[in-house]
Structure 1
């Protein structure tokens, strides 16, 4: 019974609107006027649209940043466990970007990384002009730049989560490993990571969902989806179709496709985890 209020709220806020959008995706949706039932034509148009597949390709490219977003805070959290002066101070500094608005941070970095911005100016004046690039207006660089900026923004949260996970691991395990001659990386890979693998998987799944749901602020402010659609994500593409171009039925179909991706990729992640766990159990037996 205690779960009923939460279930009702979740249904009203999330599931009923989702059902309504799925229903409207079958119409030539014209808010405020007559909407004609067209079946699955919005989905057929979507699958035939090269721009949609370009955005899908962008999402898959951003998935390449997932190992970086997981491993970098994991290594730093392990390094801050002991023997570091004021580790809480470092954790606070790392966490600072997480409390800043993506819109504000996006404006700052858009200025810094502009073609005539401070970053390229410093590179030019220091004799490293060959490293100066149009970071946000070149197809080659824009998506890697977004990946590293998202790492910068989410890094502190990951460090805090992994630090809490390491604090719950019995310290005598690490002490015994050091007595046996284990060094930093062997201790990290063979003891630390297996001890917090549940937290690692949780953070990886959270970051995976973020790739599909929480990139809009960065893309909208930092690149505007450009150049062209080379940095656009599915949520930004839906916004464009709905708010800018008025293709409401197509945007509804894209929203359902986005929900499908959010369900599919974590399901694949859980399946991969179950397979890995099964392989480890067989090896142990």
Structure 2
């Protein structure tokens, strides 16, 4: 094979790579640069790590980080719920194909639409509380959105409901590709449903579970802006009870006109996400090796 033939595949993808570098690479470089500057307008003087020092000294930033970390509590719940529903669908319940479609609908709908509907439903005099009062469970009719004690947990509930739909589809896709002879053999040996799930199904699901866990962590750290913006009234309310890092960045650049601060927080969020993406690619490579083995 001559030199031209070896270069031909790279020449085909070169325009797309150049476009991606321009669209994503240039802004990324600019954000790193702005994080070390005091930006006023389109540029500003170099101030080193001053922006980072200001961020680390702000209680609001650490509160936003704490809220993102609290949202991580939802991940084991999402994994357990997604696995349970996926395995029930895998057992071919009557109408399971219809259920599969219905369950995935929340993930298809835009987050702002779902968040706006859920905000209406969970208002103090909304349908959820009205239903609880009608059932005689007045003690459960809480101020889900208006109370700083419950607002973040309500957002978490919405995130679990929507994001678990992706986990269900991922797990079900993997289950439908399993070797069913192993499950049948375990059934013939007298293994009950829980034993078949624990000793036969889950070990074969390990890579997909790890993949979904990493994706969920990235989501909770850097992809919950739309949820908290709609549910928290655009300001992380009530008070700062639903303030997260993404909303902190939005406030710094839009409301306070501090691009340097916003860039510094964006850099930190990017680095954390990158640390999570690296093991994600390692899992995919290991999964491919196991499938080809």
TM-score, with structure 1 as normaliser: 0.89
Counterpart in the other structure of 1:17: 27
- Gap runs ≥5 in structure 2: 1-9, 284-293
Counterpart in the other structure of 1:279: none
Q: Shift of residue 182 of structure 1?
A: 1.5
Deviates more, 1:69-78 or 1:121-130: 121-130
1:132 aligns with 2:141: yes
Q: Separation in 1 of the partners of 2:258 and 2:163?
A: 33
Name the CA shift for 1:265/1:231 in 2 (closer, same or farther; >3 Å): farther
Q: Shift of residue 121 of structure 1?
A: 2.1
Counterpart in the other structure of 1:263: 274
1:216 to 193, 200, 225: 225
Q: Separation in 2 of the partners of 1:66 and 1:270?
A: 20
Q: Separation in 2 of the partners of 1:115 and 1:197?
A: 41
1:160 to 169, 174, 189: 169
Superposed CA deviations along residues 127-171 of structure 1, whole A, max 9, x for unmatched, are: 211111111122322222222211211222221111110111110
Counterpart in the other structure of 1:98: 107
Q: Separation in 1 of the partners of 2:123 and 2:145?
A: 7
Alignment of 1:121-200 (within 5 A): 121-200=130-209
8 Å CA contact 1:94–1:155 kept in 2: the answer is no
Instruction: Describe the SS at the equivalent of 2:257.
Output: coil
Q: Separation in 2 of the partners of 1:268 and 1:45?
A: 31
2:262 to 248, 251, 270: 251
- Gap runs ≥5 in structure 1: 274-285
Q: Separation in 2 of the partners of 1:40 and 1:118?
A: 50
Name the CA shift for 1:44/1:147 in 2 (closer, same or farther; >3 Å): same
TM-score, with structure 2 as normaliser: 0.86
Instruction: Describe the SS at the equivalent of 2:72.
Output: helix
Give the total of aligned pairs.
271
